[in-house]
Structure 1
């Protein structure tokens, strides 16, 4: 599919800025767009919320677009972001699961909503500053190949993109190391060349998820019991939204040994804790599966899998257990497979597919 006019999602960071320049150098008709997704209209609040959601991001992106001499617009995606990201994030936490809002944002806002809007204004596709590479396999399927700068690879958070979305997507920075991208920005004199990467979830910049959930919903989550797997009460927790499966720090327990959150039980307001060996699982189940490199699997396949963004990955055998459901049997046990997170499968450096973790044993 030949694409000429491309909308670049510009977050005000160095990666998307260089992506816009690279595409212009390659001869594309480039339009810069910043997605306005934060809910608060007050400028003071917007200034406090940095990253890809703040007022500073718009200012930085606008300056870069002016330097590159490309058209630039700010588009409002607040309703989509509220529904697909914030509401989902809150619902998952209150149900005792560990959500990944970046995956939801990528799938439903940065791609689905932005691509639809871009096509409506006459663009052929979109581009981002993600560290990944879109490729088309001999079987005709589009998939993502891990980026040249392995440590920055972002394919994990992009596994849920559809074939239509991938067919109309460019990711030009995926062929470079982060240091090369910064060097390009410096050589070009871009004002964001030394801007630090955004680390936190954009709508919870201070990292206090529990307070955000309580303030947004108007609900309070009462203290309850920390228990061992046999039901023994070993302490009191501050409310289930303060914790995630696999968490070790901040539990406030003195049991003479390190313990981790094993399970969160909203129905009884209990949090199960146990030693590291109890966090290990050989079997990880997932649902809402999106296959990327293949349309489906009929027989068990071998794959290299990641159960969270910063997981180094491990080998497993994957088999279908139902419609949009898979079971991953790992060669060696993996630690803290958290319900709500994603298990993403790789084959020969490409994303085979992935799904949302529902449980492990």
Structure 2
């Protein structure tokens, strides 16, 4: 099989490429230049896609004896990931740029080009499994090791894309074994730190980064009943569940901390309240997609059993869900005056999801990923979340 190995410059992608070579595939390595500042340097474990990462990817391919190329996807990354991130925050939502990068760059732009060039599959260092169901159709499953499982950020992959995905690390029980294997293979990235935080905000200061790109205007911080408690520096810089940085100046009557309950971009208002007011018992998801074949029992709008995860490595909650084909009206619609979410093939479908017990810290813009056991069913972008105690919908 002819395989294009996506080489990030890290240890996971290097070992994944090595295993693809060892399996007898014809492998070519490619590093994606995503930064519009090619001189950007890496600082410890912060950031990725830097000039050092490109050099590390090249060294790994040299060691493996496979061809190496660099493809410039910086314009596509800027438009589909960075600008999407800014637009979502401007609309009062909390986006996941890693998930969007997988959707639009690694498994759309990259995979499309790979197929055009005659490759059969794209191999990456993600920890997830692709298998066949009893019907012979492809399925996405959690990795063998829960601590490293990355199926949440891969849930945007469609069935036709999964047909061409290769995840050689799927059954590896620990990252330590991957590093040991890299050392045995003589790969210089064996001890390289994992990257974390948002790659295009390597210093981790998301609020400061957004302040340069979003019109942040001071406005009121209010309680659940509308009483003004303080002033914020720009509603779009806050996210549901946030506790620090509120600077209200006076404690709640009961002395307990306050949290961001809602961000209202149209009114430039941040709503805060007690922790218990973060509980959510119903979620509406927009732009849904199935990771493989749709569930037969989902046809006709019937409820189906599943498990819900709305944060990478977050809590897994028993739930039920159903598909609503027509666009939902009323409180589930985006707030009037809020910028529309970037179009991603939205056909008007919605998913309604009800967790078996209230969940906390759900924010519009996050991805609600549905599972059944280890199998990933699909995902949707959270549009509204109903508060269990107030019986009101929070949306953007």
**How does the TM-score come out when normalised to structure 1?**
0.94
In the aligned structure 2, how far is the partner of 1:151 from the partner of 1:357?
Answer: 24
In the aligned structure 1, how far is the partner of 2:200 from the partner of 2:37?
Answer: 10
Match for residue 339 of structure 1 among 364, 372, 376: 364
1:97-137 superposed Cα distances (whole Å, 9 cap, x missing partner): 00011111101101111112212322111010001011121
CA contact (8 A) 1:51 1:57 kept: no
Structure 1: give runs of 5+ residues left out of the alignment.
none
| Matched position secondary structure for 1:80 | helix
Matched, 1:349 2:374: yes
> In the alignment, what sits opposite 2:316?
313
Matched, 1:242 2:237: yes
| Matched position secondary structure for 2:16 | helix
1:193-216 superposed Cα distances (whole Å, 9 cap, x missing partner): 01111111100111222332333x
Matched, 1:21 2:18: yes
- Deviation (angstroms), 1:46: 4.5
Matched, 1:188 2:167: no
Farther-moved stretch of structure 1 (140-149 vs 230-239): 140-149
CA RMSD of aligned residues (A): 1.5
In the aligned structure 2, how far is the partner of 1:164 from the partner of 1:302?
Answer: 25
Farther-moved stretch of structure 1 (178-187 vs 247-256): 247-256
1:23-76 superposed Cα distances (whole Å, 9 cap, x missing partner): 1010011111100011124x2x35569643100100101111101111000001
The structure carrying a bigger helix percent of its residues is: 1
Matched, 1:326 2:351: yes
| Matched position secondary structure for 1:252 | coil
In the aligned structure 2, how far is the partner of 1:76 from the partner of 1:246?
Answer: 37
Runs of at least 4 residues off by over 6 Å: none
CA contact (8 A) 2:63 2:186 kept: no
CA contact (8 A) 1:65 1:71 kept: yes
> In the alignment, what sits opposite 1:294?
293
CA contact (8 A) 1:293 1:350 kept: no
| Matched position secondary structure for 1:222 | coil
- Deviation (angstroms), 1:142: 1.9
In the aligned structure 2, how far is the partner of 1:148 from the partner of 1:73?
Answer: 31
> In the alignment, what sits opposite 1:56?
52
**How does the TM-score come out when normalised to structure 2?**
0.86
Aligned residues: 354
